[in-house]
Structure 1
Amino acid sequence: MSLLLLLALLPQDAVAQTDTPLTVIDATPFGLERRKPHSLSPAGALGEGMIMARGELAWKLDFNEQTYMGLRDGTQQVGASTILSTWATTVEDARMNRWDLEARYGLNDRITLAASLPLEHREVTWSDGTNSGTSTNEGLGDVHLGSEMRVLETESSRLTAGLGFFAPTGEHNHSGPWAGQADVLLPYGLQLGGGAWQGTAQASWILDGGIWTLGLGALGTLPLNKNDQGWARERSLMVDAWIARGFWTNWVMSLRAQALGFSDVRGEAEGLDPFQNPMEDNGRVGGDRIDLFAGLAVDLTPGHGVGSNRLEIAAGFPVYEDLDGPGLGADFTLRFGWRLGF
């Protein structure tokens, strides 16, 4: 609430002005009107809301780090001793980070194509009550290809929708040290890919209210088949809502709430033992979570167009979590982003 109050109390002369003519990347009716830095969706928002003009190209580099701490079953914390009374080993914490390089290209003034290349690092700390260790996996994740289309547009709002898919480029059967064993198949959460095709559908709505900008977004992911190990990634649905305000001509503050629901893994991987560790149980992966984020962005070259050279950061934490656990509870999320348009 303190950040929201700060947004509201910003002086009028600190609000980004709209009089200066700018060449914006998005040369559409809504794009020509939105000469304020807060008219773009903040870091991590669902649905880019940034439709390129025909022939325009933009790059986006994102870093996302998610930490997990302690075990949760439903909405309750669970101690390691409770887990070890049922399973041979337990997990204590985890850290997962990902670099995403995305390219966006304006096929025409209505449809934008996008491709995203992820590099991931995942690590989990395990314990058997006496000994503990850390297992890691890193490399290329599943590449995403998709498109975003302007569905409805006015001078103050835009509705976009998109379809895409994840290609099975990430490793899904990686083996390594885990829970005291020298070389075994790593659990689902440590695999970088799903080994199968996944379809995605998204939609976003942005309302430019002058001083404030509001946004809503949704993203669904659905596995289309099982991999050669006999399992498929969880289905998921994310929705979010955000509010942003610009100040000092080229700075933006934002608040965002995101709700996430994800299913258990479909099918079982041969080589994983659900009685060894909760992370190896395909029925203990799903859950629901709500996160709150605060963000800050700056356009480094405002005279060249809103979003043409932008740095952004966002940090968030869960305010509600209900897991089909026991499973690792989310702790903190940090995002950095850089957009560069031509």
Structure 2
Amino acid sequence: MFRRTSLAIAVISSGLVSFSSVADTSHSTSQKATRAITHAPIGVMGDHTHSKGEFMLSYRMMSMEMSGNIQGSDSISNDSIATTVANPYANPPMSPPTVRVVPQDMSTQMHMFGFMYAPTDDITLMAMINYLDKDMTLTTYQGGMGTNVLGNFDTASSGLADSKLAMLYRLFDSSNHKLHANIGWIIPTGSEEETAEVLTPMNMRMTMRLPYGMQLSSGSHQGELGLTYNGFAHNISWGAQALYTSTLNENDQDYEVGDKLQLTAWSAYAVSDSLSTSARLKYTHTGDISGADMMIMAPVTTANPANYGGDMLELAIGVNTVVAGQHRLAFEYQIPLSQDANGVQMEMDSMWTVGYQVAF
């Protein structure tokens, strides 16, 4: 795990519309929204700038499914986790020597509400509010050893997540090539103290603080820096983005989430002026968690800070439509091509994103 990511691996990626639309050969809102191909994939955030005086409102929903577990890049069975993966909080007989609670599947839905405004031609301001809904099913094994299963239980958390303020600064703008800088501040407006009732290996039901992955916030302020490029030629567009997110402070629970490097590139084809398709590759490197919340000490893989972060390469395909000039509806579906997790983690199955925007 790397606390401050210095490795950058370039990858090609494609997808659908982000919350915003890429600048076209003209800076007017009406012409920007005329052709679907002028929009970047919906899975790409902060992909474009606006001209002075322009506004944009957006909404998108993301839904991710996870199931099963991997150790590094290899699958690992429930029984193997329960009998061989060490519990860092072992204190027999109260806390067993190995992990005895194993995640089975998890679903995450995020609702994202965005606003953009350009006070000048070179500066576009962006604000985003997020709402999260998480559900996880886990299996509890009996006692401190063996493979006897006590049963399954569910945990859930939902509410306001972290918010974001950002500035996009235009660096280069021609009819076919555009480049801007991304500068963002992620604000910990969500909760990192969510609790739920769990089934313990001693066959007891008790309320505990949920592990890190089920919390709604990092609890820390984070800074984000990046570059975004867009290119256009006839019925084809392409682009790339690099974003680096770094935690700025330890949160009130005495830990920091890992820094994140995201590299993505895409290409899109115009089926017609109002319809385009896209393909995207995305590479993500995330560091593990530094420090620990002393209220999260359960014998489950998700309670171990070392079981967070790693490397992932994803493929996404998307569709983008423009209706009545200024309204855009987009969809993207993505799957992992490879996953290399720190420690033992749940495996991502798929994610889809749908988004709507209106510019004026």
TM-score between the two structures when normalised by the length of structure 2 = 0.83
Contact preservation (8 Å) 1:66, 1:97: yes
C-alpha distance in 1 between matches for 2:289 and 2:22:
40
Query: Which blocks of at least 5 consecutive residues in structure 1 are unaligned?
Result: 1-24, 303-307
User: What amino acid sits opposite 2:104 in the alignment?
Assistant: E
Question: Deviation of residue 42 (structure 1)?
Answer: 1.3
Question: Deviation of residue 264 (structure 1)?
Answer: 0.4
Residue 237 and residue 26 in structure 1: after superposition, are their counterparts in 2 closer, same or farther (change >3 A)? closer
Residue 349 of structure 2 is matched in structure 1 by 331
Contact preservation (8 Å) 2:138, 2:153: yes
- Counterpart pick for 1:57 among 37, 55, 58: 55
Residue 101 of structure 2 is matched in structure 1 by 89
Contact preservation (8 Å) 1:200, 1:220: yes
* 1:212-258 deviations in Å (ceiling 9; x for gaps): 10110111111100111101122111111100011222001000110
- Counterpart pick for 1:220 among 244, 248, 265: 244
By relative contact order (CA 8 Å, sep 6+), the higher-ranking structure is: 2
C-alpha distance in 2 between matches for 1:75 and 1:120:
27
The answer to whether residue 288 in structure 2 is matched with residue 270 in structure 1 is no
Question: Deviation of residue 28 (structure 1)?
Answer: 7.8
C-alpha distance in 2 between matches for 1:185 and 1:251:
47
C-alpha distance in 1 between matches for 2:251 and 2:135:
23
Q: Which has the higher helix share?
A: 1
User: What amino acid sits opposite 2:79 in the alignment?
Assistant: S
Question: Deviation of residue 30 (structure 1)?
Answer: 5.2
The answer to whether residue 126 in structure 2 is matched with residue 119 in structure 1 is no
Q: Please give the root-mean-square deviation of Cα atoms over the aligned residues, in Å.
A: 1.7
C-alpha distance in 2 between matches for 1:90 and 1:28:
50
Contact preservation (8 Å) 1:30, 1:154: no
Contact preservation (8 Å) 1:47, 1:218: no
SS in 2 for 1:131: strand
- Counterpart pick for 2:303 among 260, 269, 280: 280
Equivalent residue runs for 1:288-327 within 5 Å: 288-302=311-325, 308-327=326-345
Residue 4 of structure 2 is matched in structure 1 by none
Residue 226 of structure 2 is matched in structure 1 by 202
Equivalent residue runs for 1:1-342 within 5 Å: 31=27, 36-49=35-48, 51-85=49-83, 86-128=98-140, 129-180=149-200, 181-273=205-297, 276-302=299-325, 308-342=326-360
Residue 90 of structure 2 is matched in structure 1 by none
C-alpha distance in 2 between matches for 1:241 and 1:278:
33
Contact preservation (8 Å) 1:46, 1:204: no
Query: Which blocks of at least 5 consecutive residues in structure 2 are unaligned?
Result: 1-20, 84-97, 141-148
Runs (4+) off by over 6 Å: 25-28
* 1:164-215 deviations in Å (ceiling 9; x for gaps): 1111110011122234442111000000001111111121101102221011
SS in 2 for 1:327: strand
Question: Deviation of residue 26 (structure 1)?
Answer: 8.0
Residue 270 and residue 62 in structure 1: after superposition, are their counterparts in 2 closer, same or farther (change >3 A)? same
SS in 2 for 1:189: helix
